[in-house]
A and B are shown apart, each in its own frame.
Chain A
């Protein structure tokens, strides 16, 4: 069994790789940076903000056997006042979080390298349900993934038996979340990446349309669906009004 995980060098991606390796998968980790911890996963270096790098990675990935499980997990963010974040940062976020995973997925599909009956997961964000003032371009990029997954799911399932899952994680106990949370936010309330990875993999393997790791994520998603405007207002109070700096990565 062969798995591909993007952004597998740290955070949630690293936890997903570790679990897949333990399950006996041959794992390929596509990342800009070397893994934080030693791992037996195959490492393919790729900066997803570069189209040339994505094209090269596609050539590498399509020159070997197809995948049974693919998770598009890599992502970056920029938080702060929209108009104070540079246009380059906004463009990078859309390139890395939306354009690259959709290009990789389309390229692998076109080459027939996502096998019939495979599972594909897109890591979106709980912001799809809540809105995310203070990270407008990040929210945009994650919504693009959620909508893309929804658009292709039925056709791919019917034609190829490929099941597509969208993952909507809330804040996790990762360096990424810590960098983008307002000062004084309680990191202990965030879910550990290992626990999230376990729930996410279970849902992806089952081929569920949505995966919302944790009770808190489900509650937020539910509230966001029944009262979207109230939820976005709450997010503004909780996050945007407390951001006193601009952070781009």
Chain B
């Protein structure tokens, strides 16, 4: 079955890897904060791109809903709310503006999109996949990032229960991945960076996790070394 799939934060990193992977077999719309012309990574020509920065959650929701209507998409089989940001800080003391930006992009926009996209998901009896982080239990290097992802963990726990039988809701907690997220966050992982999981392998693990509809799922080294990126059911 050819699916209609929406992926946020799809202009780079894990989101783009997942979008490229799924675009061969499905109709995929991706959103990102960057202008399309600024995307220099491999970007499948099959993808529909929508520029919607989640720094303004209410505006992003409106732009995305309008893009769906304009494209004539009346249902969504899969929604992957993946957009996220984070900043490394010293002594676990954040800057107030960055607190707001991180919570807006990671938590508020994700919650508002879940609310707004419900009719599309319900129509397809689809799956809502929310991307958390292995840091969701607390991380002194990124306290607000951890908090924003912890919020999503509790959010999914409640919403999965509420929507049972209508829309499957799941949270995936990816481990460290070889994307530019760490550099953007102002954190140098040093030599550790070389053992991080490839975005394409992470995308494979995500696809299999989406098809399993299970939650919560941790997509980190253990799963990876047990063959999580080569064994699983495709969407």
Chain B residues with Cβ under 8 A from A102's Cβ? 94, 99, 103, 144, 147
Chain B residues with Cβ under 8 A from A43's Cβ? none
Is there a chain A Cβ closer than 8 Å to B161's Cβ? yes
Q: Which of A94, A107, A156 contacts B103 (CB 8 A)?
A: A94
Nearest residue, chain B, Cβ from A55: B96
Q: How many chain B residues touch the partner (CB < 8 A)?
A: 44
Is there a chain A Cβ closer than 8 Å to B138's Cβ? yes
Nearest residue, chain A, Cβ from B140: A155
Is there a chain B Cβ closer than 8 Å to A222's Cβ? no
Stretch at the interface among A63-71, A83-91, A174-182, A211-219: A83-91
The answer on a CB contact under 8 Å between A152 and B143 is yes
Q: Which of A95, A99, A140 has the most chain B CB within a 10 Å cutoff?
A: A140
Chain A residues with Cβ under 8 A from B148's Cβ? 144
Known: A102-B99, A150-B137. A134 touches B158 (CB 8 A): yes
The B-contacting residues of A in range 76-123, CB under 8 angstroms, are 81-83, 85, 87, 90-91, 94-95, 98-99, 102-103, 106-107, 109-110
The answer on a CB contact under 8 Å between A145 and B147 is yes
Known: A136-B155, A143-B154. A85 touches B107 (CB 8 A): no
Nearest residue, chain A, Cβ from B104: A99
Q: Which of B114, B139, B154 contacts A142 (CB 8 A)?
A: B154
The answer on a CB contact under 8 Å between A140 and B152 is yes
Known: A147-B146, A151-B143, A154-B140. A159 touches B91 (CB 8 A): yes
Nearest residue, chain B, Cβ from A102: B99
The answer on a CB contact under 8 Å between A152 and B140 is yes
Is there a chain A Cβ closer than 8 Å to B230's Cβ? no
Give Cα A55 to B139, complex, Å: 26
Is there a chain A Cβ closer than 8 Å to B111's Cβ? yes
A170, chain B: closest CB distance, angstroms = 16
Q: Which of B107, B116, B118, B162 contacts A144 (CB 8 A)?
A: B107
The answer on a CB contact under 8 Å between B154 and A81 is no
Interface string of B91-119 (1 = CB under 8 A from A): 11111100110010001100110111010
Q: Which of A58, A83, A98, A127 contacts B147 (CB 8 A)?
A: A98
Give Cα A224 to B42, complex, Å: 44
The answer on a CB contact under 8 Å between A98 and B158 is no
Is there a chain A Cβ closer than 8 Å to B57's Cβ? yes
The answer on a CB contact under 8 Å between A147 and B111 is no
B129, chain A: closest CB distance, angstroms = 16
Chain A residues with Cβ under 8 A from B58's Cβ? 87, 91
Q: Which of A83, A110, A127, A134 contacts B154 (CB 8 A)?
A: A127
Is there a chain A Cβ closer than 8 Å to B159's Cβ? yes
The answer on a CB contact under 8 Å between B92 and A139 is no
Chain A residues with Cβ under 8 A from B61's Cβ? 87
Nearest residue, chain A, Cβ from B108: A94
Give Cα A150 to B115, complex, Å: 29
Chain A residues with Cβ under 8 A from B143's Cβ? 148, 151-152
Q: Which of B108, B139, B153, B154 has the most chain A CB within a 10 Å cutoff?
A: B154
Chain B residues with Cβ under 8 A from A155's Cβ? 91-92, 140
In the assembled complex, 29 residue pairs joining A and B whose CB atoms fall closer than 8 Å, in A order, are A51-B100, A82-B114, A82-B115, A82-B159, A85-B115, A87-B112, A90-B108, A90-B115, A91-B108, A91-B111, A94-B111, A103-B99, A106-B144, A109-B93, A127-B154, A131-B158, A133-B159, A136-B162, A139-B154, A140-B155, A143-B155, A147-B138, A147-B146, A147-B149, A148-B138, A148-B150, A150-B138, A151-B139, A228-B157
Which 3 A-B pairs give the minimum distances between C-beta atoms?
A: A147-B150, A143-B154, A150-B138
B interface vs A, CB < 8 Å?
Answer: 57-58, 61, 91-96, 99-100, 103, 107-108, 111-112, 114-116, 118, 136-140, 142-144, 146-155, 157-159, 161-163
